[in-house]
A and B are shown apart, each in its own frame.
Chain A
Amino acid sequence: MITIKFYSLLRLLVKVEQVELALDNVTISQVLAEVQKKVNTPFLHKLVQGGSLITGTVILINGRNIHHLHKLDSLVKRGDEISLFPPGGGG
């Protein structure tokens, strides 16, 4: 299983804390598309526009920002945990 966890604004939007998918060796793009189908709430437009990542949400695979992996082509394997977290930038 791949576990996808939502935090703050995204958790409120999709109204679930986490989703599990029986996938292995797929890109994070494919995972997110499957998650969107499963939660039945559009949220991808807040993460990706024109095929590129946009600012506002940190996407982590096993705690590592996908900007430091292969961005939307980052590979996700069985047992991996994905976190989607719109951070608070204010002080």
Chain B
Amino acid sequence: MSSNDIFSRHALFLGEEKLRLLRNSTILVAGVGGLGSVVCDILYRSGIGKLILVDNNKVDLPDLNRQSLFTALDIGKYKVIAAAERLSEIHTLTELVTFQIDITDQKALSVLKDEHRFAGIADCLDNYHSRFALEKMVERDVFLVHGGVRNDFGQVTTINKGRSLQTLYKGEKDFAESIPVMPQIVKIIGSIMTQEIMNNIFWEPLLVDKLVIFELSDFSLFKLDIDLRIEVK
């Protein structure tokens, strides 16, 4: 299996240096559901060096409308296991590590941090309290790309050290019921997240203190200036 062949089409656009940066990078994907499936799929097919998949849930029937790594054959399997199986069918050039843990379990997270180094985190979670637990892993030289979806719209931003999602979402509470979501917005927001993850890997993030909002209802895309600094002088 030759990486020259598999990655040749985007290598033509990115160039060898950026391909090397991808190959040398590790990304932790928190939440292997709708957004997580898209982010994993694109990063994996792009030749990322290593993916750490973190999720504690099993594949369920309502997941199949949008969680593109899974099929009916995966119902009842842990998502991280089913996702790793599917991804490894694409090629075997990316290292895969799975953690079947709850993101709010600080003890489990510290074990993960002790065992693995990663350049960045993809926040593909579906609730705020888990996001606030996850962003504690943002440190110097570790970025977090956040995505969220609802109905037919969604948003993406980058967090780095000194910034927090709590500055944006303070006061927000999690939905008690299932969140309504169209499959196509998951693909779009997951793709925008992946682009920004690559921007970070290439040391060219575009969404620090910026929030991209995409709305399918009339194909509107907005880029807001936001201030997510924890300490404001």
Contacts and interface: CB of A to CB of B under 8 A. Distances in A.
A and B interact: yes
Interface of A: 5, 7-9, 11-12, 53, 55-56, 58, 60, 62-65, 67-68, 81, 83, 85-91
Interface stretch (B42-50, B149-157, B195-203): B149-157
Contacts of B167: 64-65, 68
Interface in B35-72: 35-36
Q: Range of interface residues on chain B?
A: 35 or more
30 contacts: A5-B224, A8-B213, A8-B215, A56-B172, A58-B169, A62-B225, A63-B225, A64-B227, A64-B232, A65-B168, A65-B169, A65-B171, A67-B170, A85-B211, A85-B224, A86-B150, A87-B172, A88-B148, A88-B149, A88-B151, A88-B179, A89-B150, A89-B172, A89-B175, A89-B179, A90-B148, A90-B149, A90-B179, A91-B147, A91-B149
Given A90-B34, A91-B125, A53 B150 contact: no
Contact of B174 (A58, A68, A89): A89
Given A7-B213, A55-B173, A67-B170, A90 B150 contact: yes
Contacts of A11: 215, 220
